[in-house]
A and B are shown apart, each in its own frame.
Chain A
Amino acid sequence: MTFRKALVVAAVALSAACGPKDTSIKIAVAVPLTGDMGTEGQGLRRAVELAVEEANASGRFPYKLVAAPYDDRADPKEAVNVANLIASDPRVVAVVGHYNSGCAISAAKVYARAPVAMVSPAATNPEVTAQQNSADWAGPRMVFRVVPTDDVQGSYAATFASKKLGKKRMALLHDKTAYGQGLAEQFKKTFLEQGGKIVSEDGISVGDKDFKALLTKIKNDPSKAEGIYFGGLYTEAGLLLKQMRELALKHPFAFISGDGSMTFGLFDVAGDAADGAYLSIVGVPADELASAKKFVEDYKARFPNDERKPFDHFGYEAANIIMAAMERAGGPDRVKVIEELRKTKHQGVLGTTVFDDKGDTTSKIVTMTRAVAKKRAFDSVR
């Protein structure tokens, strides 16, 4: 086989993989579908697909809606590529995305020029929406965010640690990402205000597996931390919990983290060691809200082999909020959808969502939960 023949074969194989043109209306899901963050992105994709399928089945729309997946690979450059592709496709009405703050900030600038609305289910850096108030912003304000910024959860957790658990000295850990560091910084601020003391502060890297050295340091430090607050995701949180148990760092030594860790994946990574970890969640836990309970059941029925990922309910909510705006706008019109999104008052899996003038959700409800490994569940703590 010559080189040229190989190319022809490859081209044929690829063209077989390309789909036929259709005329349905698209809601874009722009998330990392491959690469290191692929796990979380695939979850978001499923959540949006579920929302769109439900809407199609209900017959709310006179046209067929599809959730069109776009892979940004958690790489800002690819996110901007994707944003340009989405912006140039007139059948896309709005975007659910992006997952990383770095991707969301860069891509939003492209969406603004189109303009097409972007509703982020996971990017928590305040700058994602705050940049719209800058004088350089070219386009209307079209960024919305159903996930609250870091400050809400971080300070709730700090109050919880000092008031409810009576902790005076905490060790701070975060994963050096915009999300994790943001949470930890806010925790620190509030915890200090409440008279607590942060005895140590360490950054780890996403993908690190071995935290024993760090935990040994925290355990043996003369300042005697009474617990850890971790800003980051469930993989690292799970490993931290597992290794805490191996080093006999146990109750009443507390482990507190945010919603990035509150997912079933935590039990896969940490096993029984997840028991007793405190995890905050924005809004009300799914079991206590009828609409959320339905989402949990539907998700399980639709994707029996995949468990929900930490931001899936935000993705589901983002899609539903977009579809509600489309309904009010009377058609798949990008600009009208942006205007209607601004007027959102949505009752859904996160409770009531209303956007402030920046586009951030005004919902400040945070609930603290406690992991129960045996049930693979998170019980809310009163």
Chain B
Amino acid sequence: MKKALAWRWTPWVALALAAVFPFLAATLDAQYLVRVGGVIGLFMLLGLGLNFTLGYAGLFDLGFIAFYAIGAYTTAIAMRAGVPAPAALVLAVMMSLAVRALLGLTILRLRGDYLAVVTMGFGEIARLTINNLDALTNGPKGLQVAPWRPLAFLSADPNIQYYLLILIAVAGGVIASSRIEDSRVGRAWIAIREDEIAARLSGIPVRHYKLLAFTISAAFAGLAGGLFAQWEQFVTPESFVFWESILVVSIVVLGGMGSIAGVLVGALVLVGFPPIMQWKLSADWINYRYLFFGLILVLVTLFRPQGILPSSRREAELTS
């Protein structure tokens, strides 16, 4: 298992398999899994994003879904105003980054769980504002988004189109994450997370680096939100509740904080599990779906407290 993961071609094989899968789905009688795979991909993006804040910089964020919402609503509003879809995605990313940077400038002096509560508050503020600002967002009734059909030359099925688009985004996100992780910036984050005072004494501008990690996160969330809005062709505030923020935190912690492979596996397990149960459980058991989900959360945490695939660096710390 360990060996297979360490093999340098593993990510590429996984990517190739994931890219081929939707074209085989029809023969495997598993078209449903293309949709599920796309949703898992969106949460992989969210997880990769939060990993910067939580995994690298060690900042606890319980309101991350707000930036997913900002991305989705920016895309929807821009496209309704006539902005072409790819440009709307860029706008979504920029908007999320801008709001996140402003928020970070204001609240990053807070520590630990105080930060968690303030971000939770911001998540709720964002959702309620979207729900209440009827003039801009149409409130609880939601916004329709015109269809955008990217990659139409590959398949006519929108699920396959968005699955592939999201896959490309996830692959890009993974590459970006690992590049940043191995850079000077990434090492500075690890230093801050391990010992903030020592890092500061070593000449790392802590505030600056924390803000950077906090802000970069939003780019992933904004992109995921934009793709979500375009795929569903409809956005409503119901999609951005507190529970979704918790889900993203669980993905990062359960997968392995600071571990890119861990976050991917975390999203695969936590986001994939309920829809698979929906598919496989019989009618008598359908009500038990989230009971089982809760059990999985507890059991996996108890058996793998450092995460399913902890980052090698963290594992070394924890076992030493």
Contacts and interface: CB of A to CB of B under 8 A. Distances in A.
Say if A and B assemble together.
Answer: yes
Contacts of A131: 144
Contacts of A82: 278
A10 B234 contact: no
Nearest to A42: B287
Interface string A68-87: 11110111111011101100
A178 B142 contact: yes
A6 B277 CA distance: 18
A327 interface: no
A76 B280 contact: no
Given A18-B281, A34-B290, A85 B32 contact: yes
Interface string B128-149: 1001100000011110101100
Contact of A127 (B39, B144, B288): B144
Nearest to B274: A78
Interface in B67-110: none
B299 to A, nearest CB: 6
Contacts of A88: 29, 31-32
B285 interface: yes
Given A34-B290, A102-B236, A106-B232, A181 B147 contact: no
Nearest to A100: B238
A134 B35 CA distance: 24
Nearest to B232: A106
A66 B146 CA distance: 36
Given A84-B35, A176-B139, A10 B299 contact: yes
B275 interface: yes
A297 interface: no
Contacts of B9: none
B114 interface: no
A71 B286 contact: yes
B279 interface: yes
A75 B274 CA distance: 13
B282 A85 contact: no
A181 B140 contact: yes
Interface string B32-43: 100110010000
B139 A109 contact: no
B233 A136 contact: yes
A105 B238 CA distance: 12
B280 A80 contact: no
Interface of A: 1-3, 6, 10, 14, 17-19, 33-35, 42, 66, 68-71, 73-78, 80-82, 84-85, 88, 100-103, 105-106, 109, 113, 125, 127, 131, 134, 136, 138, 176-178, 181-182, 203, 205
Interface of B: 29, 31-32, 35-36, 39, 128, 131-132, 139-142, 144, 146-147, 158-159, 228, 232-234, 236, 238-239, 241, 274-275, 277-290, 292, 295-296, 299-300, 303-304
